Amino acid sequence: MTLLLFVILPVSKRKDIKMNIYAKLETLLHSPQIVHCLEKIRKNEEKVLTFQKEMALIEAPTFQEEARGQALFSLFQEMGLTNVTTDDIGNTFGTLFGTDSKSRGNIVIEAHMDTVFSKGSVHEIIEKDGVIYCPGIADDTRGIALLYGLLLAMKGTDIPLRKNLIFLGTVREEGAGGCGGLKHYLRNHPDTECCISVDGPDSDLIVLGGPGTRTIEVVFHGKGDHAYAGCGYVGNPVRAAVRAMNKISSFTPGESPRTTCEITGFQAGDLAGIHAIPSRASITLNFRSEEKTALENLESFIFSALRDGVQEENDFVTGCGVTYEIIDHVNIPVSCMPRESELVQTMDAVIKSLGMTPLYDTKCPTNANITIGSGLPGICIGGGGKAGSYHSPQEWFDPADSYLGVQAAFLLCMILTDAVLS
């Protein structure tokens, strides 16, 4: 929490903190232990890639991450983490204990285990011209592989951390999961001081946050009746839904801040009931904005459209009307970590120390939205390498220099956990 307050500090204080970050980094980069670990990370890249390919073949659609969770559980145990746990929804984590027993704040580094690919769609790894092709190979199997890269580097290297470092594989990040895995973890672990998400490739990436996302399902209920006998008397859920959708369709997307709303699904009736007023209709809506107030205003607009659409239908009939309910599927807050904050400045310095230029992104919704939305300092970083065709069967990962992503994450963790060097 203290890190977030950084933005309101006077300029002189900001300079102090920046000096402090550079001083810590300087000490780290001159420590033989750290230099040894950085070298180990470079040498281990082949091992990390082998692991990444093995993990990519363990299918893990959102809500079905068990097999990958079990593999990660075994890995965490093998690598010597303590208190290795899989929680009630499948998040899998273990702890590297710090030396400061009084420190209550844990540093968490996490990657999501789930992918957007349904079971049966991942068959093999194809390698061509040094590029690896497999659905999910980058998003976010690379993040999981980075956790392994860190553990490999730290195993057998006696660097005492002051604060506890938690390695976490989360479930339910993608799609209808709505970043629910990390939400669940943070709710149950108020001892978290800061959480770093690793998602996808790139060694120079700092995602500060992204738009807020809401996905809702609206179910319209009616009594149902004969299409001829009931017409004019009995409320029709389909017509109520259409009336509401008509109003919602008058929304014009905004560019600044980018604010969007789409009707993404509509279900009602069936062939057997072509002469019936159905008793049920449902629509799904996805709406987003980069700005909190714009998202709230859009939500009010949508909720009024639903209320008014149903009211119009109920005014239209003389008998039994239509009711509706809203089911929340995804609710990710709008989030943006201040660029001047200590956490962001630390990662900025780390990336520069490895000879790269930080690449900032403020438009990418990730698990970091959840961390920041919970009032904790958080960013999302890349796992190294390059990648593309995300969420498609052609997803690819180019591992050239991907060790740099692991090195950057390692240095960041050393600073955040206040590693004690000899």
Residues lying near Zn ion in the complex (CB under 5 A) are found at 139-140, 199
Shortest distance, CB of residue 363 to Zn ion, whole angstroms?
A: 14
d(CA 172, CA 183): 10
Q: In this complex, which beta carbon is closest to Zn ion, that of residue 40 or of residue 142?
A: 142
As a whole number of Å, the end-to-end CA separation of the chain is 30
Shortest distance, CB of residue 321 to Zn ion, whole angstroms?
A: 43
**CB neighbour burial string for 374-387, b if at least 16 within 10 angstroms, e if fewer:** bebbbbbbbbbbbb
Nearest to 125 by CA among 67, 198, 52: 52
Q: In this complex, which beta carbon is closest to Zn ion, that of residue 62 or of residue 346?
A: 62
Shortest distance, CB of residue 267 to Zn ion, whole angstroms?
A: 28
Shortest distance, CB of residue 64 to Zn ion, whole angstroms?
A: 16
Q: In this complex, which beta carbon is closest to Zn ion, that of residue 94 or of residue 365?
A: 365
Shortest distance, CB of residue 214 to Zn ion, whole angstroms?
A: 19
**Contact at 8 Å (CB) between 60 and 185?**
no
- 8 CB neighbour count, 10 Å cutoff: 10
Q: In this complex, which beta carbon is closest to Zn ion, that of residue 20 or of residue 331?
A: 331
Shortest distance, CB of residue 111 to Zn ion, whole angstroms?
A: 8
Question: Could you tell me how many residues make up the chain?
Answer: 422
Q: In this complex, which beta carbon is closest to Zn ion, that of residue 65 or of residue 140?
A: 140
Q: In this complex, which beta carbon is closest to Zn ion, that of residue 116 or of residue 294?
A: 116
Shortest distance, CB of residue 275 to Zn ion, whole angstroms?
A: 47
d(CA 125, CA 57): 8
Q: In this complex, which beta carbon is closest to Zn ion, that of residue 139 or of residue 204?
A: 139
List Cβ neighbours of 374 (8 Å cut-off, separation of 6 or more).
186
